[in-house]
Structure 1
Amino acid sequence: MVRMVAVAMLLGALVVPASGWAQPSPRAGLPPILALSEIKPGMRGVGRTVIKGQQVEQFDIEVIGTLRGGGGVLPVKHLVLFRVSGPVVDRSGGTAAGMSGSPLYINGKLIGALSAGYLFQPDKRDLALATPIEEMLPVLDLPGGSPQSAWPRTFVADRPFIVGDRRIERVVIAENPAQARQIEAALPGVGAFLPATFTVTASGLSPRAFRILQSALGLREPLLPLFQDGGDPTAFRPAPITGGSSVGVLQAHGDLSFGGICTVTLRVGDRLLICGHPWDNLGEVEYVLTTSDIITVVRTLERPFKEGNLGQMIGKIDQDRGPAIRGVVGRMPRLLAVRITVVDHDTGKRVEKGTQVVRRPDLAKIFATAMALTAIDRSRDALLGGGTATVTISLRGRGLPRVLTRRNIFYNSRDIALASLLELPDALNFLLYNDFVQVDPLDVTIEIGLTTKRQTAALVDAQVERREVTPGQTLRVRLNLRPFQEDAVNSRVIDIAVPQNFPRGPAVLVIGSAGPEVPVEFSLQERVTQFLLREPAPSPVENLDDAIRLFEDFGKNTDILIQLVPFGLPSDGTEFVKFDVFAGRIVRTDWVIQGEVQIPILVR
């Protein structure tokens, strides 16, 4: 997922016919609206935004023209091209990230919301685009589950305009600054604009948890990491929410906070139109809506951005559409609670973290994993280092027969913190992508116990009574284990029944850990990120009860998996879970099992 609120997402979701640009029918509480057909070059007006604290201030605008996009099978869409000026713009350094959604007025009538800016101006960034209010208003009345439609990326100016020494006839909405530069260099007469994106802020994470979050989400820019603890929102007295007010939009809320700042275009009753562009363009959603207090506008070489504090939750975002996102004041979102407890048994230090995240499967498991890694990092004096971790994951959701719990033990000589999280993405997949029932996820509890002590046992060797068996017979195996730094070897005798339908011919008895093998060609951080991003695999079993048993009891690092495999077939894969044609047993132990033994067997 690429977070950059990009060009293609700049516009969004609702079909507006090419004809009939008349002013919409009056809605209770709506301000006067100036129709797009009435907007002419040279018209002047004002915009409203916050660049300090919560005070809404005005800046000047002048219309340059309108842009027409789409054509063919695409619905016709429009943008308004304008320049900004005035003392507020001088203080902000031009259009800044976080100004998206700023309402624009001509003669006291609302025309739309600032939604994109032009970066390639040598002295100032005063050229901007606006989403017409007529495109935004349908979002205000959307019912749940309304479909989305595509917006164009290329727009034709109603008349050419000049920027510096360039004559611009077409405008392309680019996804990022690098793409914008390529477009500007390669296509004469084309101007590349960027959405006036909000600054994405992540707080409450350790530095490497932040890096995993950044990599898994595909975050490029803008991004503001805050490494202090999250928790209670910043205390300030919130001002009434009106057009031009700054608000916060969060996808994680609590000890981990993840979201951004946008500007309100319009308030009608308890409903808000915000941003003038989408967040992720996902349609019906449930995000957190908060108050916001702007500290300052940070001026950078590439683009300025608003920096501010997020306050108390005041409602939810329930629509994430192309022309705007919709907020509802006073209605709280349903979120997934994630609770993490980490205990360092060597020092006695205990760390507890909690956050509420959006009930969106791909994001929920990323946020939960980042929060868990942060809790582990905060519980230890050294970030890196080996040891043993006992991890218990409990899942609760409507649709499941009970609270499901998986317990496993991990050992790693380099980085036990990351190694202990290798199963978390798949565990969350069981809750969020269940193959058998519709699960309404309620909460996830993760408990991790850490120690530097090594709790492993090496599989020294294994012997069989005979190397030849026939289907229906029993194969007796003696296992020899040596716990780490112990002289005594633990021996156990296990009988394996060879099924009647087992293929005759050469086979291999494979003995090793039941836990998943971690490839050494990837770092643990890369591996955790890969697990977060990969598509959930279909369940290898046939019903929910078997899936629960598989989740809670199979594939543990402390189990020894014994398999008799026909020669030429791999000794791993989901086909071995059922142990139908393939003979097998699982042996429980108290150690993380290391090593593997293979013994040739002939089935006559």
Structure 2
Amino acid sequence: MDIDEVKPGMRGYGLTVFQDARIDTFDVEVIGVIKNQFYTDHDIIMVGVSGPYVDEAGVIAGMSGSPVYIDGKLVGALAYRFGAFPMKPIGGVTPIGHMLDIRDAVETETKPGSNAPDGSPGGMGGGQNDIGPPDLGPSGLHPSDLGPSGLNPIAVPMVFSGFHPGTVSLFEDELRQRGLVPVAGGSVAGGSVAGGSVAESVTGSVAGATGEISVSGAGDDAYPDQDGPASTGDGASLLEPGSAVSAQLIRGDYNMAGTGTVTWREEDAILAFGHPFLWTGALNVPMNRAEIITVIPDQTGSTKISSVADEVGSVLWDHTNGIYGQLGDSARMIPVELSYDDAIRASRTYRFDVMMAIGWTPLLVNMAVSNTILANGRVAGERTIALGGRIALQDHPDIVFDDQFSGQASLSALARDVNGVLNVVLDNRFITPMIESLRIDIHSSDERSTAVIEDVWFGSETIEPGDTLEIRVYLRPYRGDRLVRRMDVTIPKTVSAGPVQVLVGSARAVTRHDLNAVPQRFRPTDGPRLIELLNNRRTGNRVYLKMFQGGAGGMVKGREMPGLPPSVLAVMDSERTKGSFVPIREKVVAEETIRTDYVVAGQNWSRLTVKR
């Protein structure tokens, strides 16, 4: 039905699942049409909603996409709810015409499903330019950013399986800001769904353009014309308008899926939800049937509790007006292997796949990492975590994880590191990331392993070109005895006579100096330089030495050229090279690193003299 035919007072019904896989009906009455909502030519049909479950629970999370019919014609999808604590259920319907436009977006804008390990990631937001100590949040809009506070998308229940309650609690606020409601759930094996199937609750089947489906409680009303069922297997043939459907973000040993309702189907094409899901645009995640265990009435927001059933296809597009899926298609995700061991438990490996999208992949990986640590160890308290692993990129060198975190905030520090690296990989302006696989190795202990730099001793305060200088770094471990670490530094023959500054410090201290002195060191100019910076980033379990002198120089395309003669500087720092040449006032003489068993803090500044 065209939206121009919709008038106040019209009555109809909607289809959704409240229990098991049985499609039930609820009643709707048109209140009016809100024109130009959110943007020009985008309308929302305001409806009163009533019937079993709805009278008690209101508009329920998980009803997103429930098809609404008037006079036997499909009007659109129930997708929005009005008010925080409404006295009676009022919903917003996305017109079916708006949802059918998604097909045009799929065909004309971007190849659907391209944000997989062999394609461009979906998502919004600009690229990151700097590789400092990153603390990058997800980019893009949230569903709560859509419009007036009284009108919001119906929340999507996010079903967790294999996750510790502490993990869900840790990320709950972030998920709710994105319009997702974390709920306990599960996954069931493919095949029949417990408590009956759609075939049992729906009399008849879609049988050609003139066929009808009689739905429990729907009387003699019929669906709009539909084509015959897809030949993609029993699970796919049961996925019809009103069926519960899930989009799976994590699958394997850990599972995470958002559940809504199918609005429309034509052969193997599916439209659902009626509003944005993750705001990613192009998408490639598994599409699964779902069964509803029960409905939890709640004044702050009722929700369906569901389980994810067999995979029937892929969700390929996440649009303002809903999601688009293809039955029979196979989703392409990032395979992750996560190993964990500690002093008590033997090593255990978890295998799962995560979706690839800017702003989402880092969050999902962090949830899995946090869950592994919390489920196998203490929820809070002192902890030391050693991190290893690598990101395998197609046609580029691997990006390596090798760091250590300790103390009360070790888990959040680990999350920031993994989140920062993945965000830079996915959201950069140089390369299209094609992540082939991700491996993360975690060793955890219930002890604090930190140390402070107390002093630094030099074998001589006067050095000459070509000398090998002995340096001793004195560390004080947390509640431990003082210990010493030695490093030998070779003084280059090109060093100039005069004073030399020496900084011995933690990763944070030395990086802070670099950011103040030469911030351009962390600004990549191409893909190889980006990966080089990521692989050379400083880590918490090392002591760094940096020896430098004052001296004019410059950076060209991310490469330092210290100690340039004035004549060369004058040519390079001219109008012709403006923008590509950055002057610097520091010449690095030598750098050295010591790996320790501790997370190191502190710094020491010294001054030596070079004689020639």
Question: Do they superpose with TM above 0.5?
Answer: yes
Contact residue 515 and residue 558 of structure 1 kept, 8 A: no
Check 1:43–1:350 CA distance in 2 against 1; reply closer, same or farther (3 A cut).
Answer: same
The correspondence of residues 254-293 of structure 1 with structure 2, limited to 5 A, is: 254-293=252-291
In structure 1, distance between residues paired with 2:179 and 2:263: 24
Say which of 369, 380, 384 aligns to 1:384: 380
In structure 1, distance between residues paired with 2:275 and 2:482: 67
Check 1:203–1:354 CA distance in 2 against 1; reply closer, same or farther (3 A cut).
Answer: same
- Offset, 1:364: 0.8
In structure 1, distance between residues paired with 2:592 and 2:243: 61
**Match of 1:365, as an amino acid?**
P
SS at match of 1:426: helix
Give RMSD over aligned pairs: 4.0
SS at match of 1:41: coil
Question: What count of residue pairs does the alignment treat as equivalent?
Answer: 502
The correspondence of residues 89-488 of structure 1 with structure 2, limited to 5 A, is: 89-90=54-55, 93-119=57-83, 123-125=87-89, 127-144=90-107, 146=109, 192-217=150-175, 219=177, 223-226=181-184, 236-237=192-193, 239=198, 240-344=238-342, 346-380=343-377, 382-386=378-382, 388-401=384-397, 403-408=398-403, 410=404, 412-414=406-408, 416-429=410-423, 431-433=425-427, 436-452=430-446, 459=453, 461-464=455-458, 466-467=460-461, 476-481=469-474
Residue 603 of structure 2 is matched in structure 1 by 596
Deviates more, 1:292-301 or 1:472-481: 472-481
In structure 2, distance between residues paired with 1:306 and 1:583: 64
Check 1:85–1:492 CA distance in 2 against 1; reply closer, same or farther (3 A cut).
Answer: closer
Is the aligned partner of 1:61 residue 2:56? no
Check 1:118–1:358 CA distance in 2 against 1; reply closer, same or farther (3 A cut).
Answer: same
- What stretches of structure 1 of length at least 5 have no aligned partner? 1-33, 148-173, 184-191, 520-536
Contact residue 10 and residue 30 of structure 2 kept, 8 A: yes
**Match of 1:108, as an amino acid?**
G
In structure 2, distance between residues paired with 1:602 and 1:576: 27
**Match of 2:156, as an amino acid?**
F
Contact residue 407 and residue 449 of structure 2 kept, 8 A: no
Residue 155 of structure 1 is matched in structure 2 by none
- What stretches of structure 2 of length at least 5 have no aligned partner? 111-141, 199-237, 513-519, 564-586
Residue 30 of structure 1 is matched in structure 2 by none
Deviates more, 1:538-547 or 1:316-325: 538-547
Contact residue 285 and residue 318 of structure 1 kept, 8 A: yes
Deviates more, 1:365-374 or 1:509-518: 509-518
In structure 2, distance between residues paired with 1:463 and 1:70: 69
TM-score by length of 1: 0.71
- Offset, 1:516: 7.0
Residue 564 of structure 1 is matched in structure 2 by 547
**Match of 2:547, as an amino acid?**
L
**Match of 2:503, as an amino acid?**
V
In structure 2, distance between residues paired with 1:243 and 1:83: 21
- Offset, 1:431: 4.0
Check 1:433–1:474 CA distance in 2 against 1; reply closer, same or farther (3 A cut).
Answer: farther
Residue 157 of structure 1 is matched in structure 2 by none
- Offset, 1:461: 3.3
Say which of 13, 19, 24 aligns to 1:46: 13
In structure 2, distance between residues paired with 1:115 and 1:215: 22
Check 1:505–1:554 CA distance in 2 against 1; reply closer, same or farther (3 A cut).
Answer: same
- Offset, 1:334: 1.3
Check 1:459–1:564 CA distance in 2 against 1; reply closer, same or farther (3 A cut).
Answer: same
SS at match of 2:18: coil
TM-score by length of 2: 0.71
Is the aligned partner of 1:509 residue 2:502? yes
Check 1:245–1:388 CA distance in 2 against 1; reply closer, same or farther (3 A cut).
Answer: closer
